[in-house]
Amino acid sequence: MTSNSEARKSTVSVREMIEKKKATKILSKFKEKLVPMTLFLFAMVSILTTFGIIYTLFSETVEFFKRVPITDFFTGTVLRPLSQNPEFGVLPLINGTLISSIIAMLVAGPIGLMAAVYLSEYASDRVRRVLKPLLEILAGIPTVVYGFFAFTFVTPIIRSVWPDVDATNILSPGIVMGIMIIPMVASLSEDAMSSVPKSMREGAFALGATPLESTFKVVIPAALSGIIASFILGISRAIGETMIVTIASGSSKNFTFDVTESMQTMTAYIVEVAGGDAPAGSTIYFSLYAVAMTLFVFTLLMNLLARYVSRKFREEY
Amino acid sequence: MKYMDINQVQKKMNTRIIKNNILKYIFFIATTFGLIVLAVLLLRVITQGIGFIDINFLTSKLSTDANRAGIMGAILGTCGLWLLSFQ
């Protein structure tokens, strides 16, 4: 009798437990679905922001091309946005951007690559552990500081050697931009080179190669995809760089290949126009978006190219 | 059959080793180039800036009088932006 009642009691409690469990199950199922949804929304924030930016850029650029023919924009060599009869040729800006980036890469490419070779092939572990973080401090300096460093220190030095150089010129911001990019090229290339297996170097040494020969004939060819990708990312950084060129290169919209003269890059133009002379709805205001769109296309192409290169030419070991 | 001319190899060996050693120093100089620029930059910023930093400069507001001007507004603005982007 007692055992019977106990049994009944226990069955009752089990049923209750099942009921309870069912009630909480709905809640927990709801929770299970809710959490990924919320996380998804958070992940979408940055994607939606990107789409918002692209949409704005695109619609305002279309508006600009209704006022200024697209061929005039891309083939015009004169940029006079503020004159009585304004002209909007983007070539001076593209020219300035490309020349400053080329100067920057002429500095950052060789020096960055040599630093990478030293760090990965020659330096002892202890030296590397000191030098690499020190070098990466360079990448953390605010670009504004680099800007007035170029203007107040590098330009006077260049002018004392080469007096033809103007007070604002494209050469000194180009060089300083290169210095800023050195740690990026060096550390990405170094990563690529030190991921080449040790056995390959040892093979070269066993055949009698010096470290130099093993570097140039074995390690660099094997790490080429990573090295090229680091160069391209460096170029893309140089194209998007704003403050250094704005401060040290002035705002003359010259279409010239003379590095001693002042030029304006796309980014510097955007700073100048957004910083003052653009009433909303005017043609100059829409030109801002057209230039921004061109700049965006440039950096996007560079980043895609870097991805393509590092995939296509990857050597697997 | 002779695959290698031992004399030839030995003749070249010295120049190869010298080349390696010279380039080693060039690579080292390239690595320190960035650090030298960093040192110059910091030295200039610090030596030219340190004399102007005092408590008045840090705590007073913008002013048209350069002697009374300070960067409190700029500091607060930076902190505000910083907090906002981390929220």
Instruction: Say what the ipTM of the complex is.
Output: 0.78
- What is the structure's pLDDT at A314? 72
Which among A186, A190, A212 is positioned nearest to A201, based on CA atoms?
A212
Contacts 24+ apart (CB under 8 A), A202-209: A208/B9
- B37–A131 CB contact, under 8 Å: no
Dihedrals phi, psi of A123, to nearest 5 degrees: -70, 145
- B35–A131 CB contact, under 8 Å: yes
- What is the structure's pLDDT at A258? 81
Residues 112-151 of chain A with CB under 8 A from chain B are: 114-115, 117-119, 122-123, 131, 134-135, 137-138, 141, 145-146, 149
* Distance set, CA A238 to CA A130, A233, A252, A289, B42 (Å): 27, 9, 19, 20, 22
Strand partners, A79: A88
Nearest CA of chain A to the CA of B22: how many Å? Answer: 10
Q: B26 contacts in A (CB within 8 Å)?
A: 114
Residue of A nearest to B23 (CA): A212
Distance CA A175, CA A155 (A): 10
- Indicate the SS3 state at residue A87: strand
* Distance set, CA A112 to CA A102, A128, A135, A278, A292 (Å): 14, 15, 10, 40, 29
Dihedrals phi, psi of A93, to nearest 5 degrees: -70, -45
C-beta separation of A71 from A300 below 8 A: no
The H or E element spanning position A80 is strand A79-80
Distance CA B18, CA A174 (A): 34
Distance CA A71, CA A133 (A): 48
- What is the structure's pLDDT at A179? 92
- A138–B34 CB contact, under 8 Å: yes
Distance CA B23, CA A58 (A): 50
Distance CA B21, CA A16 (A): 83
**Residue to test with chain B: of A49, A106, A122, most B Cβ within 10 A:** A122
Its CATH class, for the domain covering A79-312, is: mainly alpha
Per-residue model confidence as pLDDT tens digits over B10-39 = 888 888 889 888 998 999 999 889 889 889
Distance CA A241, CA A142 (A): 11
- What is the structure's pLDDT at A88? 83
Nearest CB to A210: which of B16, B37, B44?
B16
- What is the structure's pLDDT at A110? 93
Residue of B nearest to A109 (CA): B30
Distance CA A186, CA A76 (A): 38
- What is the structure's pLDDT at A169? 85
Q: A213 contacts in B (CB within 8 Å)?
A: 16, 20
* Residue in the block written with tokens 């930059």: B41
Q: A149 contacts in B (CB within 8 Å)?
A: 41, 44
* Distance set, CA A41 to CA A36, A44, A46, A252, A266 (Å): 9, 5, 10, 45, 34
- Please state whether A281 falls in left (phi above 0), alpha (psi between -120 and 50) or beta: left
| pLDDT over threshold 90, residue B68 | no
Report the 10 Å Cβ neighbour count for A224. Answer: 17
- Indicate the SS3 state at residue B23: helix
pTM: 0.80
- The CA-to-CA distance between both ends of chain B, in Å, stands at 77
Helices A125-140 and B6-49: angle between axes, nearest 10 degrees: 40
Nearest CB to B34: which of A110, A115, A123?
A115
Domain ranges for chain B, please list them: 1-51, 53-87
- A153–B44 CB contact, under 8 Å: yes
Tokens of A263: 């030029």
Residue B30 touches partner A, C-beta closer than 8 Å: yes
Nearest CA of chain A to the CA of B29: how many Å? Answer: 8
Distance CA A168, CA A260 (A): 8
DSSP B61: -
Walk along chain A (317 residues) and give the pLDDT tens digit of each residue: 445 555 555 556 777 777 777 777 777 778 888 888 999 999 999 899 999 999 998 998 888 888 888 888 888 788 887 777 778 888 888 888 999 999 999 999 999 999 999 999 888 889 888 988 888 888 888 888 898 888 888 888 888 888 887 888 888 999 999 999 999 999 999 999 988 888 998 999 998 888 888 999 999 988 888 899 899 989 999 998 888 888 888 778 888 788 788 888 888 888 888 887 677 777 888 888 888 999 999 888 988 988 888 787 776 66
Nearest CA of chain B to the CA of A150: how many Å? Answer: 10
Residue B41 touches partner A, C-beta closer than 8 Å: yes
DSSP characters over A172-234: HHHHHHHHHHHHHHHHHHHHHHHTS-HHHHHHHHHTT--HHHHIIIIIHHHTHHHHHHHHHHH
- What is the structure's pLDDT at A315? 67
* Distance set, CA A147 to CA A293, B13, B42 (Å): 24, 48, 14
Nearest CA of chain A to the CA of B50: how many Å? Answer: 15
- B34–A179 CB contact, under 8 Å: yes
Residues whose CB is less than 8 angstroms from the CB of residue A204 and which lie 6 or more positions away in sequence, other chains included:
A213, A214, A217, A218
Q: B46 contacts in A (CB within 8 Å)?
A: none
Residue of B nearest to A120 (CA): B27
DSSP B50: G
